[in-house]
């Protein structure tokens, strides 16, 4: 995994992490992704697609991106409200 770090006034810095570290970092996101909720966003996308008629391949990319953004926002809210409490023990 490669993380892209930006610091003000400095050029782009790339830092590579070993695969096992990447897996540890992604565990909370993986857990959320494996436990889908009511899929309201997916249903809303499908409803809009009745009107827009986006090709299925492109629509699947949109669904995945929306799902990833939503899961990321859930993690962000958790971190902002509770810090790392409970994130070290997934499951």
| Per-residue pLDDT reduced to its tens digit, 19-35 | 777 788 788 888 888 98
How much is the pTM?
A: 0.67
Q: Domain-by-domain residue ranges, the chain? A: 27-91
In three-state form (DSSP H/G/I as H, E/B as E, the rest C), the secondary structure along 14-83 is EEECCHHHHHHHHHHHHHHHHCCCCCHHHHHHHHHHHHHCCCHHHHHHHHHHHHHHHHHHHHHHHHHHHC
pLDDT at position 89 is 52
pLDDT at position 42 is 93
For residues 52-75, b (16+ Cβ closer than 10 Å) or e, as one string? eeeeeeebeeebeeebeeebeeee
For 35-77, what is each residue's pLDDT tens digit? 878 999 999 999 999 999 999 999 999 999 999 999 999 888 8
If pLDDT is split at 50, 70 and 90, which confidence band does 4 have?
A: very low
């Amino acid at each position: 995994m490669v993380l892209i770090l930006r610091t003000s006034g400095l050029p782009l810095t790339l830092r590579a992490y070993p695969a096992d570290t990447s897996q540890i970092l992604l565990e909370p996101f993986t857990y959320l992704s494996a436990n889908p909720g009511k899929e309201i966003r997916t249903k809303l996308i499908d409803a809009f697609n009745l009107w827009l008629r986006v090709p299925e391949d492109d629509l699947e990319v949109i669904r995945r991106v929306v799902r990833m953004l939503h899961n990321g926002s859930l993690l962000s809210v958790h971190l902002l409200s509770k810090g790392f409490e409970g994130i070290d023990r997934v499951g």
